[in-house]
């Protein structure tokens, strides 16, 4: 049966934004402030992160126009380099990157939901139920999943707008909290900014997942590139707004001193009611991020199965909904197991360098496509090869910085990736 094509530009834009905006923007401004300690540098770090994300969006927009097929990033790597590298990407996506991230987000949502409602259910159980419900919704087809995802994205965008508005109305920071605490030397400043870019890069991650549903769009060559660029631009605006009000209301020192900057801003603006409102907003934000992951990533496992390097049943579509139901359920089961195990934080630390290795590898694939077909029509990256090369270099710097900062966790992540090599050849033989 043919796959259902029901998504347009608006859907693509919301999927991109939903893949980026999670709980990180409500928490990570404090982490960045502790690294650089200056209002201009805090905003500068988030602006640099936005520029890197936009460079990546340029690259993925052209790749989407050139290869509008199921699997997105998986397909780009497979066609540019070798099926083994593409399989390793899908392997780590299922076992660590996507499922582990979904487990963490589900637990975050459950924690905030209990805080807002006082619901007396263990957080792990509520996270598992949340995963089950969203998995079931997406099994009804891409239109069902996209509608839920779009509604949640609009809701969490509204929560961010409310946070920014309240921050602009609240009294600005004064006294010690407003002071900047700059690193003492230029060398220390470079090190501090490099450290600050790590949580920024994580908060901006996720824009690439929209490419996973290219095959279910009405006009992917036109709408997907536009959706990626519009989505990333929208997120940059939201993120800079959040950080501006956090610095304005809390000050650099005050922002560095709290672990819940969004809640602190809202409490100063509206009292305890404001804290409760933003807690609800964060719960919705994490739920929307989770919904987006369940909607997009199973298309990679579907593409792997169609290539004959994964369970054959994962490559089937439901006769009525046209959705890869087995792939969706498989991912939901893996994420649920991780959530119930309670050890997902450690797993998430393993994937940082691996994730950015594949970002850089995918972007490098554009050089291969340009050499093979230099005159291809459609969207083209502005400033290529310089802009594409800059994104690849940025990914390499993130990987190097992560290896230096978390060598043990990086080794585990690379070890999980390496286990996919024998699995790939066993599957090919079978």
Domains in the chain (CATH in brackets) are 9-429 (1.20.1740.10)
Per-residue model confidence as pLDDT tens digits over 247-266: 988 888 888 888 778 888 88
Tokens of 333: 């089961």
Q: Are 247 and 96 in contact (CB under 8 A)?
A: no
pLDDT of residue 355: 83
Residue 308's region, left for phi above 0, alpha for psi from -120 to 50, else beta, is left
pLDDT of residue 419: 92
Residue 44: exposure state from Cβ atoms within 10 A (0-12, 13-18, ≥19): middle
Per-residue model confidence as pLDDT tens digits over 131-171: 888 888 777 755 555 566 566 777 777 888 888 898 888 77
Per-residue model confidence as pLDDT tens digits over 70-121: 567 888 898 899 899 999 998 888 887 778 778 877 877 777 777 677 777 7
Better-predicted residue by pLDDT, 143 or 129? 129
Count, residues in the chain: 430
The answer to whether residue 239 scores a pLDDT higher than 90 is: yes
Q: What is the pTM of this model?
A: 0.78
- Dihedral of CA atoms 50, 23, 364, 384 in degrees, nearest 10, equals -20
Cis peptide upstream of residue 405 (ω within 30 degrees of 0):
no
Q: Name the nearest CA neighbour of 37 among 303, 252, 334.
A: 252
Q: Please give the angle made by the CA atoms of 181, 186 and 192, to the nearest 5 degrees.
A: 55
DSSP per residue, 281-302? HHHHHHHHHHHHHHHHTHHHHH
Determine the 3-state secondary structure of 170 from DSSP.
Answer: coil
Residues 6+ apart with CB under 8 A from 416: 92, 95, 96, 350, 354
Q: Name the nearest CA neighbour of 227 among 273, 161, 296, 306.
A: 296
Q: Name the nearest CA neighbour of 199 among 424, 42, 313.
A: 42
In Å, how far from its chain's centre is CA 31? 18
Tokens of 132: 């089950």
Tokens of 214: 């290219």
C-alpha dihedral sign at 182, 188, 193, 199 = negative
Tokens of 210: 């929209």
pLDDT-based confidence at 173, cuts 50/70/90? Answer: confident
Rounded Cα distance between 326 and 335, Å, is 14
Residues 6+ apart with CB under 8 A from 175: none
Per-residue model confidence as pLDDT tens digits over 364-404: 999 999 999 887 767 788 889 999 999 999 888 888 877 87
Rg, Å, the chain Cα set: 21
The runs of H, that is alpha helices, within 298-406 are 298-306, 325-341, 344-350, 352-372, 386-405
Cis peptide upstream of residue 6 (ω within 30 degrees of 0):
no
* Percent over 90 (pLDDT), the chain: 12
């Amino acid at each position: 049966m043919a796959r259902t094509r029901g998504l347009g530009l608006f859907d693509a834009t919301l999927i991109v934004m939903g893949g980026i905006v999670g709980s990180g923007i409500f928490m990570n401004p404090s982490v960045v402030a502790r690294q650089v300690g200056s209002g201009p540098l805090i905003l500068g770090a988030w602006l640099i992160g936005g520029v890197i994300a936009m460079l990546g969006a340029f690259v993925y927009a052209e790749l989407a126009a050139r290869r509008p097929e199921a699997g997105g990033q998986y397909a780009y790597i497979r066609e540019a380099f070798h099926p083994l590298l593409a399989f390793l990407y899908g392997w780590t996506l299922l076992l660590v990157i996507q499922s582990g991230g979904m487990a963490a987000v589900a637990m975050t949502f459950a924690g905030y939901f209990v805080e807002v409602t006082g619901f007396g259910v263990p957080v792990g159980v509520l996270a598992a139920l949340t995963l089950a419900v969203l998995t079931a919704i997406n099994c009804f087809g891409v239109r069902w999943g996209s509608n839920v995802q779009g509604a949640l994205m609009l809701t969490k965008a509204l929560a961010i707008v409310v946070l920014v508005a309240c921050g602009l109305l609240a009294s600005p920071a004064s006294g010690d909290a407003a002071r900047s605490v700059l690193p003492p030397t230029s060398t220390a400043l470079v090190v501090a900014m490099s450290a600050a870019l790590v949580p920024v890069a994580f908060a901006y991650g996720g824009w690439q997942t929209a490419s996973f549903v290219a095959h279910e769009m009405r006009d992917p060559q036109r709408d997907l590139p536009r959706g990626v660029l519009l989505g990333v631009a929208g997120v940059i605006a939201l993120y800079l707004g959040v950080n501006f009000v956090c610095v304005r209301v809390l000050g650099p020192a005050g922002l560095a001193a709290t672990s819940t900057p969004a809640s602190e801003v809202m409490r100063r603006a509206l009292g305890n009611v404001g804290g409760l409102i933003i807690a609800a907003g964060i719960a919705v934000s994490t739920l929307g991020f989770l919904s987006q992951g369940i909607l997009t990533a199973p298309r990679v496992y579907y593409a792997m199965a169609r290539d004959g390097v994964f369970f054959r049943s994962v490559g089937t579509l439901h006769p009525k909904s046209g959705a890869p139901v087995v792939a969706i359920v498989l991912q939901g089961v893996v994420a649920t197991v991780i959530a119930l195990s309670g050890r997902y934080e450690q797993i998430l630390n393993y994937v940082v360098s691996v994730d950015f290795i594949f970002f850089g590898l995918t972007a490098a694939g554009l050089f291969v496509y340009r050499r093979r077909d230099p005159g291809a029509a459609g969207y083209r990256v502005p400033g290529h090869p310089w802009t594409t090369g800059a994104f690849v270099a940025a990914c390499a710097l993130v990987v190097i910085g992560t290896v230096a900062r978390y060598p043990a966790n990086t080794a585990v992540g690379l070890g999980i990736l390496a286990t996919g090599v024998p699995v790939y050849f066993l599957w090919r033989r079978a």
